[in-house]
């Protein structure tokens, strides 16, 4: 327990959930003349991630494997970089793991991803460390052993405060070895709780689970490139005041949703009205740009298509007793979704044209 | 001696919140603050703010909005949604940052629109 401040993986993770939907994900100053991306993704044209809800543990592992510096890159070379990084990492970290191997026979390359998570030192230091790592790791391991002995001794004295101070020192000191030793220590058979008599935390166990899961089936990390994509909305202007949304039915089919539901949501969100014409196109009153419609669709997908539990888009929407339920096909969860509400509509245009006014 | 079966238990009693403090986003749909936008003619838009808690004086808030955002606006009485602040132009982001700065939790504010 006393090692808690040292081991807090959530510290780093919180940062990764970035842009909330309250902001325009395309950027307010994005040039409307440039074509919108060909696919609706959870990464926008600017390359910053859109919050599609909280990330699952699995996704976080994926991200870590891609390396922290990939976050800033465009999504196009994301996949490539991920593969490249994976290979590099394996090569680099294999050596220290082998040296470590005397304690644990089952040490795995996936542990490298976890070790990165534990690293609170800044990037510069990390780079320095990783380049030196192969040579110095044996030393580091010995040092770690010594440290753990010291810690154990401290604990036996019953000094929890002593322990805290000790931890603080190792955290603040610029000794790169101690950090490295701490990072590697999450490999199986070498978990931090083995050295002390404290209980393991939920986070640690979760990490252990995922490390072992990915160790036994490495295909999980590589096959996750399957993304949920949807054709971009095709918009055309009809006259001066109406916009035609040509491929609504196509998009609805892709999302497995009733067009009525999608259209109702869009009208409620955009505060307009419209109709469906003979060839299945949607005529929206008002001028809208492609990115605006795309933004609305994105929010629809977050709210009514992706499963909140497993984030799979493979869901079904069914209506029971006037309440819509969304059931997930892949994880089996089932939850009610918000009803679409139009809310207050202000009086726009001439009152004489409005029947109610 | 105490018999457990005879203990009175009111099944309809309020259990507090079973999910801790996160009741705000579970089920309770009505107490969101909605910020919506509506298109008018041309490039003009209207922003409406609906569902503010009762303890805020909408009239004073409107005055502050008008001064802060340099726009005009009115207070509209609606049968369903009560009093609604209506502002000229797209003030959605400004309103939400203003409200957050004044200490309204961000997860109760819903910004609609395109």
- Find how far residue A345's CA is from the centre of its chain: 36
pTM for this structure? 0.52
CB-nearest to B46 from A270, A343, A348 is A348
Q: Which residues touch B35 (CB under 8 Å, ≥6 apart)?
A: B47, B48, B49, B50, B92, B95, B96, B109, B110, B111, B112, B113
When scoring A343, A349, A356 by the number of chain B Cβ atoms within 10 A, the one with the most, hence best to mutate, is A343
Average pLDDT, chain A: 64
- Sequence-ordered alpha helix ranges (H) in chain A: 10-16, 57-66, 78-100, 111-117, 123-156, 160-172, 176-184, 192-195, 202-216, 219-222, 248-255, 259-270, 290-300
Which of A22, A287, A344 shows the shortest C-beta gap to B81? Answer: A344
User: What would the 3-class secondary structure string for A128-192 be?
Assistant: HHHHHHHHHHHHHHHHHHHHHHHHHHHHHCCCHHHHHHHHHHHHHCCCHHHHHHHHHCCCCCCCH
pLDDT at A249 over 70: yes
Q: Tokens in use for B48?
A: 């409406």
- Predicted pLDDT of residue A243: 92
Tell me the CATH architecture of domain A235-337. 2-Layer Sandwich (3.30)
Task: Write the pLDDT tens digit of every residue in B44-59.
Answer: 999 999 888 888 899 9
The answer to whether the CB atoms of A346 and B113 lie below 8 A apart is: no
The complex scores an ipTM of 0.72
What's the rounded mean pLDDT across residues A181-210? 70
* Contact residues, chain B, for A335 at CB < 8 Å: none
Judge whether B81 and A343 are in contact, CB under 8 Å. yes
CB pairs under 8 A between A and B: 61
Indicate the pLDDT class of residue A244, thresholds 50, 70 and 90: very high
Average of pLDDT values for B21-38? 64
Where are chain B's structural domains? Answer: 31-110
Name the residue among A295, A256, A223 with its Cα closest to residue A45.
A295
Residues 231-290 of A with CB under 8 A from B: 268-272, 286-288
B40 touches chain A (CB under 8 A): yes
Which tens digit of pLDDT belongs to each residue from A41-89?
544 444 444 444 445 555 666 655 554 444 444 444 444 444 444 444 4
Q: Where are the domains of chain A?
A: 235-337
Q: Which of residues 35-64 of A touch B (CB under 8 A)?
A: none
- Spatial distance between the Cα atoms of A132 and A175, rounded to a whole number of angstroms: 13
* CB proximity B23 to A under 8 Å: no
User: What average pLDDT score do residues A292-320 get?
Assistant: 88
- Taking CA atoms, A200 is separated from A34, A104, A186, A194, A204, in Å, by 52, 19, 12, 9, 6
B109 and chain A in contact, CB less than 8 A:
yes
Higher pLDDT, residue B54 or A2: B54
Mean pLDDT estimate for chain B: 80
Whole-number pLDDT of residue A90: 43
pLDDT of residue B28: 44
Residue B112, pLDDT > 70, answer yes
Q: Name the residue of chain A whose CA is nearest to B82's CA.
A: A344
- Report the pLDDT averaged over residues A11-26: 42
- pLDDT of residue A338 exceeding 70: yes
User: Which is higher by pLDDT, A214 or B12?
Assistant: A214
Nearest CA in chain B to A26: B114
Whether the predicted pLDDT of A255 surpasses 70:
yes
pLDDT confidence of residue B82? 84
Q: Do B40 and A295 touch (CB under 8 A)?
A: no
Superfamily of domain B31-110: SUI1-like domain (3.30.780.10)
**Measured between CA atoms, how close is A33 to chain B, in angstroms?**
17
Contact A22 B109 (CB under 8 A): yes
pLDDT at A226: 61
Give the pLDDT score at A66: 52
Region B8-34: mean pLDDT is 57
| Interchain proximity B86–A286, CB inside 8 Å | no
Chain segment A128-178, per-residue pLDDT in tens: 444 444 444 555 555 665 665 555 544 444 444 444 444 444 444 444 444
């Amino acid at each position: 327990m006393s090692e808690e401040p040292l081991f807090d993986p959530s510290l780093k993770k919180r940062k990764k959930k970035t842009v909330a939907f309250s902001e325009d994900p395309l950027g307010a100053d994005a040039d409307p003349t440039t074509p919108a991306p060909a696919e609706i993704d959870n990464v926008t044209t600017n390359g910053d991630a859109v919050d599609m809800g909280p990330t699952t543990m699995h996704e976080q592992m994926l991200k870590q494997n891609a390396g922290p510096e990939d976050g800033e890159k465009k999504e196009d070379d994301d996949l490539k970089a991920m593969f490249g990084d994976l290979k590099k990492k394996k090569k680099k970290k294999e050596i220290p793991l082998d040296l470590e191997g005397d304690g644990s026979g089952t040490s795995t390359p996936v542990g490298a991803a976890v070790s990165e998570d534990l690293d609170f030192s800044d990037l510069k230091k990390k780079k320095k460390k990783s380049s030196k790592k192969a040579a110095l790791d044996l030393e580091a391991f010995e040092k770690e052993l010594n440290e753990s002995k010291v810690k154990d001794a401290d604990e036996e004295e019953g000094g929890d405060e002593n322990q805290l101070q000790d931890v603080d020192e190792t955290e603040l000191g610029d000794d790169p070895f101690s950090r490295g030793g701490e990072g590697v220590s999450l490999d199986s058979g070498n978990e931090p709780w083995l050295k002390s008599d404290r209980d393991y935390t939920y986070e640690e166990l979760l990490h252990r689970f995922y490390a072992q899961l990915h160790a036994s089936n490495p295909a999980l990390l590589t096959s996750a490139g399957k993304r949920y994509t949807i054709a971009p909305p095709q918009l055309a202007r009809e006259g001066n005041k109406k916009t035609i949304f040509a491929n609504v039915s196509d998009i609805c089919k892709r999302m497995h949703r009733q067009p009525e539901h999608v259209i109702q949501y869009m009208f409620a969100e955009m505060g307009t009205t419209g109709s469906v014409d003979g060839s299945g196109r949607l005529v929206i009153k008002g001028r809208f740009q492609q990115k605006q419609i795309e933004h609305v669709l994105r929010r629809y997908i977050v709210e009514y298509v992706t499963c909140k539990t497993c984030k799979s888009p493979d869901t079904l929407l069914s209506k029971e007793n006037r309440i819509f339920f969304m059931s997930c096909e892949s994880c089996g969860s089932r939850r009610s979704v918000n009803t679409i509400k139009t809310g207050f509509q202000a009086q726009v245009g001439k009152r004489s044209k409005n029947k109610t006014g | 001696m105490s018999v457990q079966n005879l203990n009175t238990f009111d099944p309809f009693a309020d259990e507090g919140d079973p999910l801790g403090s996160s009741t705000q986003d579970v089920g309770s749909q009505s107490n969101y603050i909605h910020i919506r936008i509506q298109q008018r003619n041309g490039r003009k838009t209207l922003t409406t703010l609906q569902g503010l808690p009762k303890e805020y004086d909408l009239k004073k808030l409107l005055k502050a909005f008008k001064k802060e955002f340099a726009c005009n606006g009115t207070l509209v009485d609606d049968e369903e949604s009560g009093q609604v602040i209506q502002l000229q132009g797209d003030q959605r982001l400004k309103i939400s940052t203003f409200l957050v700065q004044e200490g309204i939790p961000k997860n109760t504010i819903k910004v609609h629109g395109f």
